[in-house]
């Protein structure tokens, strides 16, 4: 993905999907890392000062999305909110729904991928995740929403939060994500993985927080091939 520039304050605020006194949910653009890596460069955190809305400090990340993944990203507005969010995320109380376009046909119209993952490093390729018996438990539910022309539009719901979980699980069953620069063909444009929806209960006395992010432009063409009709 070409996008590696800092978002302006206006761009950052235009991506705000939800706001209350504790949290914010933003629509992360694909191609921009959420925080600075070893090589530096622009990241989403660079623009968090545009989201203070009167508080003394900018919000902070409650979880992560890969650089090339777009969609729902939760931020805590202060330390108390971040502690609460940390417990919710670590205990698996957050329902995450991703949309992806993959190569090939999924083995069933709906199913579960239960394949433990381990992080391995090599001098030639750097680090990457692999399926291995000695790895950490990783479970992903999926549901096929459409397919055509050798592509499948798939809804994934990860039940664990391992690094690159959806990407490596899709590869494991023979259906790598379109555009995945590590586990896919890597030469076909942006990766087609979008954090479509997130839902969780933050306060017992209030309804669940439930937020959906619109499909990004770079995914529309292949989603339409698979039967998606945007309103």
Neighbours of 172 (CB within 10 A): 17
Q: What share of the chain is helix, strand, coil (3-state, %, to 5)?
A: 20, 35, 50
Q: What is the pLDDT of residue 10?
A: 96
Within a domain: 115: yes
Q: What is the pLDDT of residue 231?
A: 66
Residue pair 75/24 in contact (Cβ under 8 Å)? The answer is: yes
Within a domain: 1: no
Q: Flag residues of the chain having pLDDT under 70.
A: 1-4, 123-124, 186, 231
Question: Residue 130 in 3-state DSSP?
Answer: strand
Within a domain: 2: no
Within a domain: 111: yes
Neighbours of 203 (CB within 10 A): 11
Within a domain: 3: no
* Domains of the chain: total: 1
CA proximity to 181, closest of 67, 70, 18:
67
What span, in angstroms and rounded, lies between the C-alpha atoms of 66 and 69? 5
Within a domain: 165: yes
Q: What is the pLDDT of residue 12?
A: 97
Q: What is the pLDDT of residue 1?
A: 44
Widest pairwise Cα distance in the chain: 53
| Model pLDDT for residues 188-212, shown as the tens digit of each residue | 889 999 999 999 999 889 999 999 9
User: Which residues are known to be catalytic?
Assistant: 66
Within a domain: 231: no
CATH of the domain at 156: 3.30.2350.10
Neighbours of 17 (CB within 10 A): 17
What span, in angstroms and rounded, lies between the C-alpha atoms of 19 and 21? 7
Residue pair 9/2 in contact (Cβ under 8 Å)? The answer is: no
Q: What is the pLDDT of residue 14?
A: 97
Q: What is the pLDDT of residue 6?
A: 85
Distance of alpha carbon 1 from the chain centroid: 15
Within a domain: 104: yes
Residue 171 is part of which domain span? 9-225
């Amino acid at each position: 993905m070409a996008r590696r520039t800092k978002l302006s304050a206006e761009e950052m605020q235009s991506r705000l999907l939800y706001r209350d006194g504790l949290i914010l949910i933003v629509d992360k653009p694909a191609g921009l890392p959420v925080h600075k890596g070893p090589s530096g460069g622009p990241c989403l955190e660079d623009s968090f000062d545009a989201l203070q809305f009167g508080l003394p400090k900018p919000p902070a990340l409650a979880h992560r999305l890969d650089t090339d993944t777009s969609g729902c990203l939760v931020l805590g507005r202060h330390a108390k909110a971040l502690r609460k969010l940390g417990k919710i995320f670590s205990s698996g109380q957050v329902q995450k729904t991703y949309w992806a376009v993959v190569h090939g046909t999924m083995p069933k119209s709906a199913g579960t991928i239960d394949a433990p993952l381990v992080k391995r490093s090599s001098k030639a390729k750097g680090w990457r995740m692999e399926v291995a018996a000695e790895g950490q438990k990783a479970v992903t539910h999926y549901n096929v929403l459409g397919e055509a022309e050798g592509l499948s539009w798939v809804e994934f719901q990860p039940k664990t939060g391992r690094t690159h979980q959806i990407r490596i699980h899709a590869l494991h069953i023979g259906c790598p994500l379109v555009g995945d620069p590590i586990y896919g063909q890597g030469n076909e444009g942006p990766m087609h993985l979008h954090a479509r929806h997130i839902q969780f209960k933050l306060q017992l006395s209030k309804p669940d927080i439930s937020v959906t992010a619109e499909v990004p432009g770079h995914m529309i063409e292949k989603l339409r091939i698979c039967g998606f009709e945007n309103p």
